[in-house]
Amino acid sequence: MQIFKPIQMEIQVSYRYPVHFTTGLFAPGNSRFLDAGRAGGGHFPRKLLVVVDRGVHRHHPELVTQIQSYCREHQEYLVLAGAPLLFQGGEGVKNDPLYVTIVQQAIQAAGLCRHSYVVAVGGGALLDMAGYAAATAHRGLRLIRVPTTTLAQADAGIGVKNSLNALGKKNFLGTFAPPVAVLNDFAFLPTLSQRDWIGGVAEAVKVALIKDAPFFDFLERQAPALAGRDLGIMEQVVFRAAALHLEHIAAGGDPFESGSSRPLDFGHWSAHRLEALTGFELGHGQAVALGLALDSTYSYLAGFLGESAWQRILGTLTDLGFALYVPQLADDGLLAGLDEFREHLGGRLTVTLLWEIGQSLEVHDLEANLIRAAIELLRKRARGEAASGSRFPVAG
């Protein structure tokens, strides 16, 4: 019997895409979108299927006309495959697979190929849904993201992931499929609701807490201005938070999350569970703020984080306008978020906590009694009953 040696195969794939910051993306003379559509050379014109968040369209009713006019102006390179598709944004668009089917049917009906583009304009949930549809049609169409919320511009819309909610779990279905470009247009931000305006700042606080103490100092000082909707300050926050997120994705050594460590999900094990427990009525930014408060309080009670730093974190989140307690924190089902978090990452449970502001650590177990103590401390603090708590050092 002849013995055949195994054939070892190695594939190296490099991804490169720009994240731009601009104002008036579809205004005549702004070349950012045109440049994204022409990237990579090849045959022109390129077909575009545009998917738009209805909330964005409601506040910017001229948007669809602007997109159509822009493509007519540059018809040598860009051609719309049809009228832009409008979908209601928010988590609902990720909860029903029908929306993905509608986008895929439009891709098929328009005859889009793998050199065509899906252009997603909206908040993080809309971008996730449209990105998932693009990534699974023809094994992957090119995607241009146009995030329109602070959270999407600073975090959710700039990375390499797309996802849907399924089987009662946040982001249970998904793909790793980098976009060809992300185009952040600050002109969309002033029309956001207060919840969506401040939502992205929770992710900025998160990344500052684990990576950049001076950035947290800036957020702490500017919290009243941010809560008061200072656009200039918000632009600085979005840019810095995006830079920190992208730096970690590109240089952190695990862009496609094959390991068990995910520092950028600090505060998220409970945040994702809280969203589900509230039927996704709790916005992601608000849920993240609660998760940050909970894990910072756990870090303090466990003897890792100093009391002064802990108080600064909770004070900054409060000054930004976030509630740091909701009844669902005390729900018996909250702790199931730890198992879901472990399953989602794979391997051993790995949770990020804080040594100090700007410096994190990883632990592989959270003690249920200490989680409950942290929740109770947040409940009492919300009622004005407590300013500090007893610390119970535990092994990491």
The 10s digit of each residue's pLDDT in 182-227 is 999 999 999 999 999 999 999 999 999 999 999 999 999 999 999 9
For the chain, the average pLDDT equals 92
Query: CA-to-CA distance for 48 and 81, rounded, in angstroms?
Result: 6
Q: Which of 163, 191, 219 is the last residue of a domain?
A: 191
The fraction of the chain above a pLDDT of 90, given in percent, is: 82
Query: CA-to-CA distance for 304 and 298, rounded, in angstroms?
Result: 9
Residue 168 exposed, middle or buried by CB count within 10 Å (0-12, 13-18, 19+): exposed
What percent helix, strand, coil does the chain show, rounded to 5? Answer: 50, 15, 35
Residue 388 lies in a domain: no
| 36 and 183 part of one domain | yes
> How would residue 394 be classed by pLDDT, with cut points 50, 70 and 90?
very low
* Weakest mean pLDDT among 64-73, 211-220, 264-273, 335-344: 335-344
- Report yes or no: 182 and 18 within 8 Å, Cβ to Cβ: yes
Residue 7 lies in a domain: no
- Report yes or no: 353 and 360 within 8 Å, Cβ to Cβ: yes
Q: Which of 191, 222, 244 is the last residue of a domain?
A: 191
**What confidence score (pLDDT) does residue 39 get?**
87
| 187 and 215 part of one domain | no
- Report yes or no: 147 and 156 within 8 Å, Cβ to Cβ: yes
**Confidence (pTM):** 0.92
| 313 and 183 part of one domain | no
**What confidence score (pLDDT) does residue 14 get?**
85
| pLDDT tens, residue by residue, 43-67 | 899 999 999 999 999 999 999 999 9
Q: Report the domain count for the chain.
A: 2
Q: Decide if pLDDT at 387 tops 80.
A: no
